[in-house]
Amino acid sequence: MKQVFSKHYWNDKDISLLVGQILRIGVLLASVTLIIGGVLYLTVHGKDPLPDYTKFIAETNANTTLSGIIAGVMQINVPQIIQLGVLLLICTPIVRVIGSLVGFIIEKDTMYIIITLIVLSVIAGSIISGLKG
Amino acid sequence: MTILTFTLILFLGTFIAGLLGSLTGLGGGVVVIPLLTLLFHVDIRYAIGAALLASIATSSGAATAYVKEGITNIRLGMFLEIATTIGAVVGALIAIYMPTNTIAIIFGVVLIFSAIMTLRKKNEHALAGGSPLAEKLKLNSTYPVDGQKVPYKLTNIVGGFSLMGVAGVLSGLLGIGSGSLKVLAMDGLMKIPFKVSTTTSNFMIGVTAAASAVVYLQRGYMDPGIAFPVILGVLCGAITGSKLLKKMNPKTLRLIFAVAITLVALQMIYNGVQNKF
């Protein structure tokens, strides 16, 4: 187990492969969720007239908060299934940054551990400042 | 128009947007905004939300092809991300208070600039003598040319970092990846070979867009009915484009597209001045 955390076990190339894997899985998960949600949406609402997108009405909490989206998915509500796919897509690059952080920790690169943590805290700050509960 | 017709046209339109965006290097997000606002008369706020998602989709989709080759300078990307993510959050906050017509005009201007940037002469040479700051931040690296590792060094770190902050603000304000501004900072100021700057900029676009996307999602700018055809369309287009790119040289296409995009941009500016958004 110990060798998993050693620098020799992981070289730069392995880390970039791991990061590539994260991206591929993230994009795949998001796409599959969106396809499922999209097909359901078109089956139910395909023949309905288009909502009035010319006027901006902010989405409701069900579509904008994590709790709202998860509650909707549990009840198999179609819009929230799509929003879950949206959420997975947004998370993909963030998880990639976390993957790079793990890489820098393994390389014991203190300067870049700090730099990556700054980037992550800016994103975290952005999530918290926009929270509506 | 029924929801089904709208979805199909939107999917087709964003597929072409993703395809052309990846062939010309302009990115998928920038075409989504005029497509939604000028063609479908969708409110620009929904369009910005959708464009951000398109930027993340193109960036993540294309990056899976790039990381294998090991060209992306992750340290450089991460260091510059400090500037772009802070900029993106600031831009997303400004966007809430800025009149939509002003946003449309700024978008038009940035679009023209981006179109011109796709035609620029690329920096193909590796810099031999870098600045001390680049050395200190461990930003100098190597990249593969014909199977050999060629070292390159960086200069003007402060200038590049500042321009990245501006790129971040525009990205958060307009929902675009600001790829052209990122490449200008890296190619033009920091003198990085374009192979490295293109892939590193692509890595950064996803992270920058995600930082402002969380603000837009929570502010209710992302509509499920628009989001799914846009993401899937752009993603399919970008993947097709990156496969085609290996087989063709899109020089003429780039020129035609730059002219077309400039016309679209002028239309956006005109509508903005006429208060049509």
Q: What is the DSSP string of B24-42?
A: HTS-SHHHHHHIIIIIT--
Tokens of A55: 């006027």
pLDDT reading at A7 higher than 70:
no
Token pair recorded at residue A44: 């139910």
Helix (H, G, I), strand (E, B) or coil at A128: helix
Residues of B with Cβ-Cβ distance to A117 under 8 angstroms? none
- CA dist., res. A33 & res. A84, Å (int): 7
Between A21 and B63, name the one with better pLDDT: A21
- Picking from B56, B210, B224, the nearest residue to A82 by CB comes out as B224
The one-letter amino acid code at A71 reads A
Does A85 or B248 have the greater pLDDT score? A85
Band of pLDDT at residue A10, cut at 50, 70 and 90: low
Q: Among B40, B207, B225, select the one facing A97 at the smallest CB separation.
A: B207
In the prediction, which pLDDT does A131 show? 55
Domain span at residue A113? 2-130
What is the number of structural domains in chain A?
1
User: Cα–Cα distance between A84 and A64 in angstroms, integer?
Assistant: 10
Residue A120 confidence class, pLDDT cut points 50, 70, 90: very high
pTM: 0.89
Cβ contacts below 8 Å, chain A against chain B, sum to 204
Interface with A, mutate which of B6, B35, B60 (most A CBs under 10 A): B60
Q: Identify the band that residue A15 occupies on the pLDDT scale cut at 50, 70 and 90.
A: low
How confident is the model at residue B180, as a pLDDT?
Answer: 81
Q: How far is A75 from chain B (nearest CA, A)?
A: 16
CA separation, residue B89 to residues A12, A103, B103, B218 (Å): 30, 26, 16, 13
Distance from C-alpha of A40 to C-alpha of A24, rounded to nearest angstrom: 24
Distance from CA of B256 to the nearest CA of A (A): 30
The residue type at B56: I
Mean pLDDT of A62-68: 86
pLDDT of residue A41: 95
Chain A residues inside the 8 Å CB shell of B211: 122-123, 126
Dump pLDDT digits (tens) for B70-125: 678 889 999 999 999 999 999 988 988 899 999 999 999 998 988 888 887 777 77
> What pLDDT is stored for residue B68 in this prediction?
55
> How far is residue A16 from each of residues A114, B23, B122, B206, measured CA to CA in Å?
19, 24, 26, 16
Question: How many Å apart are CA A102 and CA A119, to the nearest integer?
Answer: 14
Q: Low-confidence residues of chain B, pLDDT below 70? A: 63-70
Strands annotated E in chain A: none
Q: Among A22, A96, A118, A121, which would you mutate to test the B interface (most chain B Cβ atoms within 10 Å of its Cβ)?
A: A96
What ipTM describes this predicted complex? 0.89
Cβ partners under 8 Å of residue B37, min gap 6:
B43, B44, B47, B104, B268, B271, B277
Q: At what angle do helices B157-174 and B44-66 cross, to 10 degrees?
A: 130
| Predicted pLDDT at B154 | 92
Best of B74, B136, B277 to substitute, by most chain A Cβ atoms within 10 angstroms, is: B74
Chain A residues within an 8 Å CB radius of B7: 38, 42, 46
Q: Which residue among A89, A96, A122 places its CB closest to the CB of B86?
A: A122
